[in-house]
Amino acid sequence: MLMGGPVVLVTTTWRGKTNVMPLAWHMPLSSKPQVIGISVEQSRHSAEMISHAQEFALNFPKRPYLHHVQYLGALSGEQIDKLDALQMETFPSTTITAPLIADCAAWIECQVVEVTPIGDHIVFAGLVTAVRIDTRSYEDGRWSIGDDEHRPLHFLGGHTYSALDRALQARLPHDYEAPERVLRDRILEELELTREARERREEQLAMLEREIERGNVVDIDELKIEIDTGDDRPLDLSRGAIL
């Protein structure tokens, strides 16, 4: 239920070998200083690599990398050079040794400052040492809703991913409006709409019952309601005909 954020490809290098793994368990830990946390399963090869290297990079893949991301999760860096196997182009980072993956939406370089085993995972706290963005994907302090090919991939779980579709602007109260009153009015408005819909449905069900009592034919589509009214109010349909 917590899934839905942008997936990242974590790259790290140790003893001349480079590894990459897809990751959805990441989070901001501090803004001053800027620290990011990633949670990696202890049995993963990447956990060992990051523990030794004491650094990692987060690469935010775009939509064209969809199948690469899923495939990378099925491979182990112990037996194969995953970047080479998928022919993924890389370029040098500026503050660490791990390479960055080309054609991503953004890149964050980190130095590990704390390691905390928690259950079957290890949380690596990484101090941000460099950040890059592709302005076609990220601008004005947020992800952009532009060209489909430049949108970041969001992981929903399993083999399912998503891409940002549209931005919604929340209405903020004016200076003369008390926020609690605005929120209360909005809630009351929603409750009133719900109440009106429920009353309309009750009226339609009552009319349906009267027509059935008379043995008339009733077209449900014209009423725009569902036949199933719940256990607390079953309809006796034995006397009428339902279309």
Tell me, letter by letter, the H, E, C secondary structure of 171-234.
CCCCCCCCHHHHHHHHHHHHHHHHHHHHHHHHHHHHHHHHHHHCCCEECHHHHCCCCCCCCCCC
Structural domain containing residue 138: 8-163
Q: Are residues 51 and 148 in the same domain?
A: yes
Q: Are residues 140 and 189 in the same domain?
A: no
pLDDT at residue number 138: 93
Last residue of a domain, one of 113, 138, 163: 163
pLDDT at residue number 185: 76
The Cα–Cα gap between 137 and 233 comes to 53
Does any domain span residue 172? no
Q: Are residues 204 and 124 in the same domain?
A: no
Q: Whose structure tokens read 């090919």?
A: 149
The residues, ordered by sequence, that sit 6+ positions from 165 with a Cβ below 8 Å of its Cβ are: 145
- Report residues of the chain scoring pLDDT below 70: 73, 75-79, 172-179, 218-243
Q: CB neighbours (10 Å) of residue 105?
A: 25
How many Å from the N-terminal Cα to the C-terminal Cα in the chain? 40
pLDDT at residue number 175: 58
pLDDT at residue number 193: 72
**Three-class SS state of 88:** coil
Does any domain span residue 156? yes
Last residue of a domain, one of 128, 163, 198: 163
Does any domain span residue 196? yes
Q: Please tell me the pTM assigned to this model.
A: 0.70
Does any domain span residue 169? no
Cis ω for the linkage preceding 33 (within 30 of 0) = yes
The Cα–Cα gap between 63 and 76 comes to 23
| Total domains, the chain | 2
